[in-house]
Structure 1
């Protein structure tokens, strides 16, 4: 709990309050107030200040984690962060934190409950996504300490989820085509989304945010420059994940021909509805002109996987399958990294170590075969 004392400074009196440790800095902040004429005045002011701190702590003892997180978003995050960051925080709060921790009283939130959430999320999310949840929770709980709702953040006793790069779930070319054939007859929109992910390595949000003006037919390339997401606060369209994600991807005749057929189908349906064609419209659209939420791609793919009995993969794993197939075709790692829009070639190497190790083994065998054994 917070404590305090009065002290004389020159000809006047002051009080100082020792606050709980700030988890962001590891320091114990102090709050000073000076200028009191007498020791009695300083003591009365200190008592009032400590009472207020106690009231704030009491609030933390009665409110739930869900109630606190909503207050944090409204009073702190909304005024301090960029709109896209606010969207991300709100998304994580609504989708992950409140469902797993929301019913717990803030004062009773302990390390085991948080670690249990991380384990659960680790079964359905990539390590980087679980780590993002951890970062949002850490920011929220640090603010609770500063507001006096908590004396210490329970995350001080929790290890951050590791950013491991494990073996990826990927499909071979035959499995990809089996799924695409199935989707084409049942969900043409999701077929186009999955086709682009598998043939270009684009992220789901990048596929959803692709416009027809981004297709450069003469250069045989696709310009990836935005991402479209659906969040609790509405649709979010913004720049790609990182600066390096803004890129041009060279594509072949198969991709261009498939896009051309899809565009003609959309134009035909628009004409039948009496609507003018908009070149700024999204590539992955419903035939009736609506834009599907990106989550629907994941849901449709999951149903297709179950129906076909294929190895379980996520929509994002189509991107990994694309990269793995290129590596197995001995495409240089630098080219693949640029194609995927990774921040660095080292990230690509870390993600696909299991593939590059296998290629290195094959290279060693090829070298021995080419050179043979030295004469003794």
Structure 2
């Protein structure tokens, strides 16, 4: 197995062991230095270096490349969906890739893997820019096209790993069209207006929005919180899961993506008091509707069936609040994060 060692800011040393000779003496390892293109992102560079390590190991070991020149992308995807994707990816990522595959297959499925050249792939991306969304609201966004590119890159990287290809033809094929839209940031006047608007909502929505803005939690992370995650003595919340909703599928709960995502978040006194008030309201509501009490395993923001609420429900409500108050609907919850201290310290009505 080839080993990879980083040398410098953009240089990697690939070392391939050659095993032992017939007398049991270790043969001298073979080395090669590679440098990924400077324009690659860290993730792209990592994948590119792994591919180079596989190819170099084959070269050193004189391993014949098991390339099936007749296999099509559709045939490879069939194998990938059954044997590779479910083992390699998180469940939510795999489902999202399956959605992208439904668009990739009609356009590229009949191509042999070895016939997928850059021109073919770029033509596919351009066609997707004029392809209608599933909900009929215009064409695919540039973000969706970029997502298709990432999925196709992942599929072809797996094909390289398995020996069906000698390189990934999708690398450096995608170029964003037009200028990247900058995320709008709310000014102080807008923030104050929204604070007032949140306090005019039900306590559920007020608590959710203020919690997200006071702590910087992602939408899905807030939906994934359980009462057991709150340490009332230390005034902290343990963030360890999130809720993900994919198109035309039920929401799923999953662990945080990274170890850094699993974290403790500290609460202001005001936010702490608001959560206490929300807990009391939940207790009262459960007693009235089901003659039950709130369990520590319950979600802070739950549906009647006990499942966590869909993050999109809160996004829809936020857009409604913006419209009702004559504010720009280009704003989103994260547009307000530069002002999150204001939300953390704002008193309850």
TM-score of Structure 1 vs Structure 2, range by shorter chain: 0.5 to 0.7
Counterpart of 1:303 in structure 2 is 320
Structure 2 equivalent of residue 81 of structure 1: 88
Structure 2 match to 1:283: 300
1:137 aligned to 152, 167, 187, which one? 152
Unaligned runs of 5+ in 1: 1-21, 34-48, 329-376
Equivalence for 2:36? none
Shift of 1:88: 0.9
Larger Rg, first or second structure (1 or 2): 1
Question: Is residue 258 of structure 2 the alignment partner of residue 242 of structure 1?
Answer: yes
In the TM superposition, residue 178 of structure 1 has moved relative to its aligned partner by: 3.5
The separation in 1 between residues aligned to 2:341 and 2:280, in whole angstroms, is: 34
1:274-329 Cα offsets, whole Å, 9 max, x none, are 22321221112247755311222223323333443322346xx424522x22699x
Corresponding residue for residue 198 of structure 1:
213
1:202 Cα deviation after fit: 0.8
- Residue in 2 that maps onto 1:294: 311
Aligned positions of 1:1-80 closer than 5 A: 24-25=51-52, 27=55, 32=64, 53-54=68-69, 56-57=70-71, 59-60=72-73, 63=74, 69=77, 71-78=79-86, 80=87
The CA deviation at 1:111 is 1.6
Separation of aligned partners in 2, 1:93 and 1:202? 27
Distance 2:267 2:180 in 1: 28
Whether 1:91 and 2:116 are equivalent positions in the alignment is no
Q: 2:124 aligns with which of 103, 106, 113?
A: 113
Unpaired segments ≥5 residues, structure 2: 1-46, 131-138, 343-349
> Paired residue for 2:107, among 101, 104, 108?
104
- Measure, in 2, the Cα distance between the counterparts of 1:288 and 1:173: 39
How far apart in 2 are the matches of 1:161 and 1:97? 20
Alpha-carbon distance change, 142 to 225 in structure 1, aligned in 2, over 3 angstroms: closer
Distance in structure 1 (CA, Å) of the matches to 2:218 and 2:227: 17
**Equivalent residue of 1:104, what SS?**
helix
CA distance in 2 between partners of 1:157 and 1:174 (Å) = 43
- Provide the secondary structure at the position in 2 that maps to 1:227: strand
TM-score calculated relative to the size of structure 1 = 0.57
1:259-270 matched pairs, under 5 angstroms: 259-270=275-286
Contact 1:118/1:161 (8 A) holds in 2:
no
Q: Deviations over 1:96-155 (max 9, x none)?
A: 4534x3431321752232366589876557xxxx87654432121234567798787541
SS at match of 2:170: helix
Residue 241 of structure 1: CA displacement? Answer: 3.3
What is the CA–CA distance in structure 1 between the aligned matches of 2:217 and 2:308, rounded to whole Å? Answer: 18
Q: How many residues align?
A: 271
Counterparts in 2 of 1:289 and 1:234: CA distance versus 1, 3 Å: closer
Q: What TM-score, normalized by structure 2, do the two folds share?
A: 0.60
Q: CA RMSD in A?
A: 4.3
Q: 1:141 to 1:185 in 2, by over 3 A?
A: same
d(CA) in 2 for partners of 1:156 and 1:197? 37
Q: Matched residue of 1:281: which SS?
A: coil
Using the alignment, how far apart are the partners of 1:32 and 1:124 within structure 2? 39
- Residue 264 of structure 2: SS of its match in structure 1? strand
Contact 2:226 2:299 in 1 (8 A): yes
Does the CA-based 8 Å contact 1:142-1:153 persist in structure 2? yes
Distance 1:186 1:287 in 2: 19
Say whether residues 1:325 and 2:339 are aligned partners. yes
Aligned to 1:346: none
**Correspondence for 1:170 among 178, 185, 208:** 185
Structure 2 vs 1, CA of residues 325 and 182 (structure 1 numbering), >3 Å: closer, same or farther? Answer: closer
